[in-house]
Structure 1
Amino acid sequence: MRKFNSAFVVSAILLLIFGGCGGGVREEPGGKKTIETKDGKVTLQSKPGDEGSWSVETKTGKVTIGAGASAEVKLPTWLPACPNGTVKMSSNEDKPGNRTGVVTWTTTDPAQKIYRFYEKALKDAGLTVNTMSQDNGASGGMLMASEPSDQRRAHVTVLVEKNETVVQLSYILK
């Protein structure tokens, strides 16, 4: 929750900065606020509980960060979402020639099942996969995957925290 609140603080600062640059605040239904200027726009979407999102869009690209089940998850077609996972946080950056993202999920599925799922998915996508785990993935581990051209890269961390499996996936697509 602390990371998400920090995102809202940053958003509020950006809203103030953009608002001071000749942009007006446009309020929309559902708690959405947008400020547009000649240089871009900032959008803040607040929702009950720990959910919500903010985005900054300029001529050179767009960054979106969200939390909770309503967070926008934009994965490349070769990278599947966590099976039975609940989104906790998502971050996406889209700009010409480069797309990156990070998604965190929790699931009640065993860590080894999720670890093996991503190991297979990355190999099936044609990536070279390097694995790091002490117990064959039973308590989680890390997977680092890339292709020789370095156009696609992914990093998956699977760990057990309390009674859940936590999955963090990051990717770069050039």
Structure 2
Amino acid sequence: MKNVGKRFEENFKKSISDEYLLYRLKDSPQAFTQSNLTFFTHKNPCDYFLFDGKRGIFYCLELKTTKDKYMTFEKIELDDTQPRKIIHKHQILSLQEYSIYKNVYPCFVFNFRSEDIGIERTYMQYIGDFMKMYHGLNKSSFNEIDLMSYHAIKIKGNKKRVNYYWNLTEFFETNDFNKEK
């Protein structure tokens, strides 16, 4: 059985229309181990590159899912020996690096699963808004209320028997991340 993170990625990928170019960056085999010996392995900047040719927008997307009511993140000011969290320091820094380019929108896609009732809620948040949340919160985690307070946009989705489908074409066509906020 697939782990829930891979299942979420697969459902997300199936929700992308063929009119978009979607590329999954390959994970190194060492990326799946939690060993101290993997500090020098390649770390991908994000999970996906998505190009919207109609609008000329390039997205860098890092997908995260949790069954908890919150997501944790590593502190970018600390070294790499800190305890691992859901969102890693290198992912935050990589998305921040991409944000300097015109028409490039690095974003997190956050999925909160309520497994007991079979409901999922998914949000996209531009890295600039994530950084405002990162600095604005006095904690190393956030919940859905925190996300909404820092301009995360909910992605409409519905369950098709077992798997979720998100209306990403409508989402990309109707939402614009204002990089100048």
| Higher Rg of the two aligned structures | 1
Higher relative contact order, chain-length normalized (CA < 8 Å, sep 6+): 2
More helix by share: 2
TM-score, normalised on structure 2?
Answer: 0.30
More strand by share: 1
TM-score, normalised on structure 1?
Answer: 0.31
